[in-house]
Structures are given as structure tokens and as C-alpha cells.
A and B are shown apart, each in its own frame.
Chain A
Amino acid sequence: MSIQIKVPAMGESVTEATIARWLKKEGDAVKQDEPLVELETDKVNVEVPSPAAGVLEHIEVQQGGTVSVGTVLGAVKEGAAPKAEAKADAKPERRAEAAKNEAPKAKAANSTPPPPPPSVRRIAEEEKLEISSIAGSGKRGQVTKGDALKALETAKTATAAAKPAAPSAAQGPRPKAEREERVAMSRLRKTIALRLKESQEIAAQLTTFNEVDMSKVMGLRAAYKDGFEKKHGVKLGFMSFFVKACVAALKEIPGVNAEIDGDDIVYKNYYDIGVAVSTERGLVVPVVREADALSLADIEKTIGDFGARACDNKLKLEELLGGTFTITNGGVFGSLMSTPILNMPQSGILGMHKIQNRPVAIGDKIEIRPMMYLALSYDHRLVDGREAVTFLVRVKENLEDPQRMLLDL
């Protein structure tokens, strides 16, 4: 029986993909869940597993084709064996009994290819190619020099394609083409544009502001940063405090950690915090899972790892999916105040900003304190003003007095 291979749902923010390459040829034996084809999405590459064990019957969309969720990529013939075996099976009466009983099952392609030959090892080392990401055409999937060279070429073409396209012919009342630059939108940029606009159209967004005195957190950090780094091997930054402060506030105001699904509100009793990371390609939001159960050190490590891998485009799709709340930090670029846009279908997003020494009234005195404006954009369909403001005040309090978090206040 033939089973269609369809583009799986790749997460809420991914709707379209390009066929990066087929990992199997027509007629190849495939195991259930063995990767068949690699899709390139806006964010990461996704492998589509075989829906059944059998033989890849046909390929519908070739390499380079654009597909969306649900598109039929090809078909797997369930239970079929590779051609030679199928032939023997077709006329079983001819086969001797002894052999029939001992006939081995069709050997599906080995999932771990043999070690690469010396030429491929050299190319991989010189060109920083990941051998395991290259589909091998050799015996038992071994990567040949030709495969490696092709992968190298594909990588280079991709880089070249990302460069600006030539400007189109001049338009308008006066020639200005020379002073314009016209570039094709990258897939990631298109998606960002679409998603952000969609967010504004669907949610009833508004933003509430507050400010936080960072003295305590900064003091804590100054006091313990050496010991912390020595013990955990990672610098103690501000992000972990903000994640913790938000998790504590989310526990108190569950609406900010909820989403609307049709006529229902889904409250999430887990705290997967998305952390916006800016890369050359655009903004990505990897998710720190179960942030409530993580230590400050764990959070710092996770975020550090995300940042490094985001720059290399090595984040996995599953790491970008399913956050319940997002934190974005415009402060790293110097922003003093902003209104973040919701990362749908989430209901809240916290905007961090630049820490700046400002005169503030403490009691009856004016003091210079390191201050940061905080912004919370929220979906007013789900979150009332009281909740939103309370949430932000709680975040402020947790940061101004981190001991509150220790005591779970």
C-alpha cells in the first residue's frame, strides 16, 4: 500500500519550505521514521521521516521545489522490499524451501554510513563542512568526494544568493536607481514581516510601562560574579534574573502565560520562556524550557548556547517552537523605551531596555540609580489592565529585591 509523504506541521511560525535535498532515491529501502528528505525553512532545516517501512516509491517534488504544510512530497510503498527482493518474492514457488525459510529480511539502508574517505576528511576539515549533514551516494551511504564537493558548492551558492540582487530599472520622476539598493527579501525576513503583521491584526495589543532600579541586581552580580563563573563556568548576566522574575510573576498572573485557542483560553502550567536573539539573518526566538525548574546558571548556559548557535544557524526547529512567554532586550542596542509586538499566540512579551543612571527620588532624597524602563505588551483580549500592570510591577519588585524570589513572595 502506498502512503503519501506530506510536509509535516513545522511549528506555528513555519508555513513554507524549500526541498533542500532528498536523502533517499526512488526505489531505496526505507525504515519507518528514517529521514527521507530535508526541508529548508525560514528558521532551520527539518528532516521528514518515512511514514512507514518499505520502499520510496516516487518523488513528487524535486530538490529546490517550494512546498507548504500538507504538500505531498512523494510516496512510500509500505512493506515493499527493494527490487531484487521483490522479484524473488514475486515467484516464491521457484525458490527452494530451504532458502525460503532462511531468506533474510530486506536490509534497509544502514543509518550510520561508513567513515568518510581521506579526500572527504580533508575537504571537511579545510572547508568546515559537517560530514554528517552530507547525504552519501557511496556504498552504504558513504560520503564520496563528489558528494562533499557538491555540498560545498551548494553552501557557497547559498551564500552568494544571500548577497544583494542587482537593482532594477529606474522608476519615478527622476533617476535614483543608483542611489537605491533593491534586494530580495529573505525567507526569514518575509516570515517575520508576515508574522508581525498578523500579530498586530489578531491580538488587541497594548503596552504598559514601568521602571526598575537595578541597584540590587547589579550589586548582587558584582559581589558574586567571580565565584559564580568559577563554579558554573558561565558569566552571571542579567537575563537569568529577568527570566526568573518573569516566571515568578507569570505564576501569579497566569493570564499572561496563556493563549487563545478558538473559543477557549489555554492556561499553561509550564514556563517556556522565549528569548529573542538577533542574528545577521534576522530575529529568532529560541525557547528556554521549564525555566521555573532551572537555576540561574542553567538559564545563563542555555541562553549563551542559543546565542552562539543562532549565529551559526544551528538552532533546531524544536528549539524555536512552543514558547509561552517572550523576553526581548532592545537595551543591548541602546533602546530606552519600546513597545514590543507579541509573538503569537502568546499573550505577553517583556521588553528590556538600556540601564541608565538617572536621578530618582528615594524617600525624600534624590539619588542616582541605574534605571531600566520595562515594557509589557499584552493581548488585551485575554489579559486585563489590572493583570498586566500587576505582572509588570511584580517583575519590577522581583528585580529590585531579588530576595523576594528566594522566599517565593
Chain B
Amino acid sequence: MADQFDVVVIGGGPGGYNCAIRLGQLGLKAACVDARGTFGGTCLNVGCIPSKALLHASDLYQMARLDFPRFGITGTLGLDLNAMMAHKNKVVGELTKGVEYLLKKNKCEAIVGEAKIAAPGRVTVTTKDGTRELETKNIVIATGSDVTPLAGVTIDEKQIVSSAGALSFESAPPRLLVVGAGVIGLELGSVWRRLGSDVTVVEFLDRIVPGVDSEVAKQFQRLLEKQGMKFKLAAKVVGVEKNGAALSVAIEPAAGGLREMFEADAMLVAIGRRAFTDGLGLDAIGIKRDSRGRVMTDAHFETNVDGIWAIGDVREGAMLAHKAEDEAVACAELIAGHAGHVNYDAIPSVIYTYPEVATVGKTEEELKSAGVAYKVGKFPFTANARAKSNLTTEGFVKIIADAKTDRVLGVHMIGPDVGNMIGEASLAIEFSASSEDIARTSHPHPTLTEAIRQAAMAVGGWTMQM
């Protein structure tokens, strides 16, 4: 007889495992199925977490190399890439085990295997021991995304890599070509530049990090260039050939024009990610998807088929682990009969380079095109005492508030550790705070967060420390 569940969650990433945990908390019998073998999805296994381990390690290395002498710390410095990778692998191992523990703790069955939706209410899982039939009242599709391939380029994950392969180069490639100036390309490009690669980034658009406030993006590009990263904007890779140990990459202007050949030792394809639904059997049961292959749902995450839901990268919206997590919680609560809700205006986004970029809410461009009158307040880290003490004065905080109501509409930051500071801004937006509310809220001195307060004061024209 088939196993009976209230909910079967397909996918063990931040969307899937958090959904299963929340369902368990709400007293439902849930299973979480994942084919990878370790839970945590792209994020934990080959995304956010391992990349952050390398970003932090390589940042420390660079800091030791460049900044320690300025603090009066001297000595000889070495780099053991194998040890750095071992650290990364250890972190990933511990965290994926942690997810399994959390699933177990919340009485969710973790099943390793490939899931197929045989029919509404029935999931077939192919495990290494054979086939399991699961009967369930609800199915949540949380299968996430995978790398968007580049036409004419075959990824071998050795020399021509996706984000996954770029986490495991055996040595820093002398010349690394990054295709795509988005978050992934710039983060991993930064890792290898710090570890010794000469990094060139090719981007189809005429700007980096599309979607980020353009003032922030411009400053970001300037700072990355200062660090030695090179950019070829409004250009596209049209082909690649292996040329002995090296790669010959054909690059053309995005608008068409003269082809240029570029020599590289490795190439990272990071032009985006696409919804992953292979092997789920969605067509057979008639689940609607949009033109980009994403599972379509209503505002409550339910697909056109009763009892089948979708969350995270596999549906529309920003491909962010915490967005998937927010949807996971809301979806689980809705399934359990509660009132789950996600406020998409208050979902922050962070780029973990140095300096970091952190944003939440609307950009100036979005507000302009929507015809919303707004006011801007800015404060640079050069005027922040803590940033000066730390020798990390690059960047600024920018707060955009409604011209009439003063309600905070967007917060855009570039600077040291801003990824850890954006939470305050999300909270402000979630609670409809005004810039004055932030300005009148006590911030500890001396911290980097004072820059947020001063920028909030700047909206009202009373910045005090500049």
C-alpha cells in the first residue's frame, strides 16, 4: 500500500525544506523529496553557502595581503587553495546534515530520489532501492532552478563552468572570462580575482547588475574596476573553441558588429538561471507554465490543478533563497488553513562582493517610470567613523522616501557589510516606516549602521555628521 501524506514537497532547497519544516510545525504529515542525495538544494550545495565560504576566505586573504600592512600587521602570507576548499566542503557538509536533522525534528520524512507527479495526489519516487508510491492530499513543487545554458557553448564544469564548477577550480585560472555581470558572475569573479585570476566580465547589457539602482551599479562597477576586474559591456559571447589548454572566445558587440577573439584559461557562464521542472511530468497532468517555463500559480501559490502548489525559483519572481523561504512559509500556512502572505516589496537582495551591495524596495528608476514623487537621502561611508577605523570607506547608503508621506520606498546600499545591515531597511519597509522614523530611532555608535540613520536624516534635510 502506498504511503499516505498530507503534503509531499518536491525539492529539498530553501523553498522545499522550509516548507516541509513549517508543515511539520503546523501538525501536518509531510515528506520532502530531493534527488541530489544531500538536502539544501542549490543554495546549500552549490550556491549561496559554498560561494560565501570562498568569498569570505578570499576576502580575508586579500585583506591580509593589502590591508594588514596599513594596520601595522606584517609577515609572510601563503595561500593553500586545497585547505580553503576543504573549509568550504566542511561547511556545506555540516549545513546539509543540519537540514536533514531539522526535517527529522519536525517529523518530515526526507526521501532521496527523483519525484514524478503521477497524478494529482500521487507522487512516484525513484530511489536507489526502487520505486515508492506516495499518496498525498497536497503536492508542493519546489524544484528550483538550474543554470541557463549559453547557445553554442557546452559546459564541462572543468574549463567551461557554471557557478557549480566555479566553486571547485583546482587552481586559480590565470585568465578567467565571466559571461554575465549579474550577482553570480561578479561574486565568483571576485573570488578568483582575489585568488590570482585576471578576470574579465562580458555583459550583454550596457550596465552591470541589472535591476539594481543605477547609481549604486555605477559606483559598484567603478570600485570593481579599481580592484582590477575588467568589463566588456554591451557585448555577447557567440562561440568558444578549445585551443590547446586555453580557450578562444568569440565576442561581438550586442548590437552586432566586429567580432573579437578573446583568450582565456577558463570561462564561467553566469547569464542567469531558469526554472527546473525536468522529469516532474507536469505536462501529463496539465500544469500551466509561462513562456519562460515557470510554473504558473495564483497569488496563493496554487497551480491550476487543485492541491498542487509551487514556490521558489520554479515560479515567477526573484530567484533568491529567502524569497523561496518566505513563499515556503506562506504556502505551508495556506495549506494548513492559515493566512500566509509574502510582501514582495520588502524582500532584500544582496551581492556578497567587496564592497557588498544590498537593496530592498523600489529603485529610483522604478519610481520615475511609475510617476511617483520621491525624495532621496544619501550618506557616504567616508563620513562614518567606524568605516574609517576599519579602512572600509567605499560606498554609501541611499534612502528613497515618498515625497508626500515620507514612507520609505527603497533602500540601496553599497559598502562594507551592508548585507548584514539591510535587515533594518526591510523591517522599516515591512512596517511602512517613514525616513523620519529611522532617523529618530537610536543606532549604536560607532557602527556602520549609523550611515543608515544619517541617510534617513538626509531625506529630511538634517544630516548631522556631514
Q: Residues of A with Cβ closer than 8 Å to B?
A: 82, 84-85, 87-89, 91, 93-96, 98-100, 102-104, 106-107, 117-119, 122, 137-139, 142, 144-146, 149-150
Contacts and interface: CB of A to CB of B under 8 A. Distances in A.
B432 A139 contact: yes
Interface in B296-337: 300, 306-307, 334-337
A119 B440 contact: yes
A106 B27 CA distance: 19
8 contacts: A91-B307, A94-B306, A95-B335, A98-B29, A99-B6, A99-B27, A146-B407, A146-B434
Contacts of B133: none
Nearest to B29: A96
B433 A117 contact: yes
B358 interface: no
Contact of A99 (B300, B306, B335, B339): B335
Nearest first, the 3 A-B pairs at minimum CB distance are: A146-B405, A145-B434, A96-B6
Contacts of B116: none
Contact of A84 (B341, B432, B440): B341
Indicate the member of A95, A149, A150 with the most B CB atoms within 10 Å. Answer: A95
B340 interface: yes
B339 A100 contact: no
Q: Is the interface of A mostly helix, strand, loop or mixed?
A: helix
Contacts of A146: 402, 404-407, 432, 434
A119 B404 contact: no
Contacts of B340: 84
Contact of A119 (B300, B338, B339, B437): B437
A139 B26 contact: no
B464 to A, nearest CB: 16
B338 A87 contact: no
B389 interface: no
Given A93-B137, A99-B6, A145-B437, 15 more contacts: A84-B339, A85-B338, A89-B337, A94-B138, A94-B335, A96-B138, A96-B335, A98-B6, A98-B27, A98-B28, A99-B26, A99-B27, A99-B336, A119-B434, A145-B436
A122 B436 contact: yes
B344 interface: no
Contact of B432 (A98, A100, A138): A138
A128 B334 CA distance: 43
Nearest to B309: A94
Nearest to A137: B432
B7 interface: yes
Contact of A145 (B6, B137, B341, B406): B406
Interface in B385-417: 402, 404-407
Given A96-B7, A98-B27, A149-B406, A88 B436 contact: no
Nearest to B336: A99
Interface residues of B, number: 33
B104 to A, nearest CB: 19
Nearest to B428: A117
A95 B137 contact: yes
A138 B405 CA distance: 13
A95 B138 CA distance: 8
Contacts of A122: 436, 440
Contacts of A142: 431-432
Contacts of A99: 6, 26-28, 335-337
Contacts of B436: 118-119, 122, 145
Contact of A144 (B26, B138, B307, B434): B434
Contacts of B338: 84-85, 88, 103-104
Nearest to A153: B404
B441 interface: yes
B312 to A, nearest CB: 20
A103 B336 contact: yes
A95 B336 contact: yes
Contact of A117 (B26, B307, B334, B437): B437
B28 A96 contact: yes
A142 B432 CA distance: 9
A36 B138 CA distance: 38
A84 B334 contact: yes
Nearest to A146: B405
A100 B337 contact: yes
Contacts of B402: 146
A82 B337 contact: no
A363 B259 CA distance: 128
Contacts of B138: 94, 96
B362 to A, nearest CB: 15
A100 B437 CA distance: 41
A45 B39 CA distance: 60
Contacts of A87: 300, 334
B27 A117 contact: no
Contacts of B430: 139
Contacts of A95: 137, 335-337
A82 B341 CA distance: 12
Contacts of B337: 85, 88-89, 95, 99-100, 103
Interface in B332-390: 334-341
Contacts of A119: 406, 434, 436-437, 440
A82 B430 CA distance: 20
A149 B460 CA distance: 14
Contacts of B334: 84, 87-88
